[in-house]
Chain A
């Protein structure tokens, strides 16, 4: 079965550089979520999209932006990278389903290292 695909899997950037993370949701899933997880921490909700529109916003820094495209894939753009941005970034997708209404599927994550 198709899963959520994230690319790249690993990324190394220098401080003040920019990075773009991509997420390809499961086909027919119309909602995408982004999370940041630092070492030893719990996943922090950044932002979500439903039907290509921003839906909810969490603790996403102003230096970050995201969007969902017409094919439902999503990109997280990160600028002026800081050492503290080093983390695992997860994308998840879910269908708007009355029965499986809280089930989201996560990708394998992108490990971003800022040096």
Chain B
């Protein structure tokens, strides 16, 4: 399993763009990169997944360099409601069912 490393915490202000980087040096060829968001006392919620280059959906963008050893989640114009813990996961649920969370990044958005 590829281990992931993320910053423990980040602070931002409303309206700013936030970029959270995750390192996964041992990512396997078949692995995808996925980000989840978790609010206190709630289950994690899927944000975005990607394999390479750039992926964008209605809430975030995911940038993955060619070597795939890291990835960056980009949240445009954050609001107070984006205050949460963000987790980067590496794996492939199509071929195995081992979905482990590492230490996430606690994002605090200030007014």
Contacts and interface: CB of A to CB of B under 8 A. Distances in A.
Interface stretch (A13-21, A73-81, A102-110): A102-110
Interface residues of B, number: 27
B46 A58 contact: no
Interface string B24-35: 000000001110
A52 interface: no
B32 A106 contact: no
B103 interface: yes
A109 B101 contact: no
B99 interface: yes
B98 A48 contact: yes
A88 B41 contact: yes
B100 to A, nearest CB: 5
B34 to A, nearest CB: 4
Main secondary structure of the interface of B (DSSP, over half): loop
B101 A43 contact: yes
Contact of B87 (A31, A42, A88): A42
A15 B43 CA distance: 26
Contacts of A4: 43
Contacts of A58: 98, 100
Interface residues on A, range: 20 to 34
Interface in A61-110: 88, 90, 92, 94, 96-98, 100-109
Given A45-B99, A48-B99, A103 B104 contact: no
B8 to A, nearest CB: 11
Please indicate which of the listed interface residues B42, B85, B93, B96 has the most CB atoms of chain A within 10 Å of its own CB.
B93
A24 interface: no
Interface in B30-81: 32-34, 38, 41-46, 49
Contact of B104 (A42, A50, A102, A111): A42
Q: Which 7 A-B pairs have the closest CB atoms?
A: A106-B43, A55-B97, A48-B97, A56-B98, A101-B94, A102-B34, A45-B100
Interface of B: 32-34, 38, 41-46, 49, 85, 87, 89, 91-94, 96-104
16 contacts: A31-B97, A33-B97, A35-B101, A42-B101, A43-B44, A45-B100, A48-B97, A48-B99, A55-B98, A56-B96, A102-B32, A102-B99, A103-B34, A103-B46, A109-B42, A109-B43
